Structure 1
């Protein structure tokens, strides 16, 4: 019986990666890459602002940002960037270095870049910002979006 369990576990471990083979994913980039890409080849940007504790953010990442039609639309038309609003990383972007207020992550203590991008709006998660090719804000949604709602937002 023990041998059967070991074989069963090995078979599952072997075939599990194949279940995810071929699934497309969004090509998320960081701000340093965005800076370079916008300078060389301008295109619209989709910015996803989230936090670690936001369940709706995780739900969007797992359920909406994995749908084939959404992935294809975003990868075809946008540079996609994620920003943890409570990040403790220094971020180089737009000829500036954005430094966190603290070296420790703290709920409710937001990164200066997140505050700047939201331009005095309330911090509501998830937040999606859509910028044109010259990085001017076109549209903003501060709520969980179902796939159809996101597709409309992206069009």
Structure 2
């Protein structure tokens, strides 16, 4: 009887872990199609594999149910590695990473266009909020705690 109870308990716990919901991240190609079908605001999370605070946002911010609900209901969420070597097609144009082999921080054209700052480097993590017409509304160049992120997403 005890063995059956243990097996049932372990099985039940494994189901609970398997059902943990994750945020649906779109690629730029998927975003382009989604904006045509149903315009929404866009939240872009720019990250790099070496960025500790980027990972912290992935683990502590984008896993919060209330943030996931706000993003999935009112935004398209895009997660973009600033050092990608991929060529991205968006809006009839092609964007590449022309900085590979030229700069120590080889950032792709897309973060340079959307998160770039005059006479300053992009700092990570960078979060950009765009309106339905793909105009930049807000830019953040730091870790954003969950409560602040929720307030940002609910504003306007």
Q: Which TM bucket (shorter chain)?
A: 0.7 to 0.9
Alignment of 1:61-140 (within 5 A): 61-101=58-98, 107-121=104-118, 122-140=121-139
Q: How far off is 1:23 after superposition?
A: 2.0
In 1, the alpha carbon distance for the partners of 2:36 and 2:92 equals 12
In 2, the alpha carbon distance for the partners of 1:36 and 1:154 equals 22
Aligned-residue CA RMSD (Å): 2.5
1:28 equivalent in alignment to 2:25: yes
What is the count of residue pairs matched by the alignment? Answer: 145
TM-score (norm: length of structure 2)? 0.83
SS in 2 for 1:139: strand
Unaligned runs of 5+ in 2: 1-9
For the 8 Å contact 1:86–1:107, the answer to whether it is kept is no
In 1, the alpha carbon distance for the partners of 2:23 and 2:144 equals 16
**What CA deviation, in whole Å up to 9, does each residue of 1:30-71 have, x standing for no partner?**
001111111121000000001110000001101111111111
Unaligned runs of 5+ in 1: 1-12
**Alignment correspondent of 2:7:** none
Q: How far off is 1:24 after superposition?
A: 2.0
TM-score (norm: length of structure 1)? 0.83
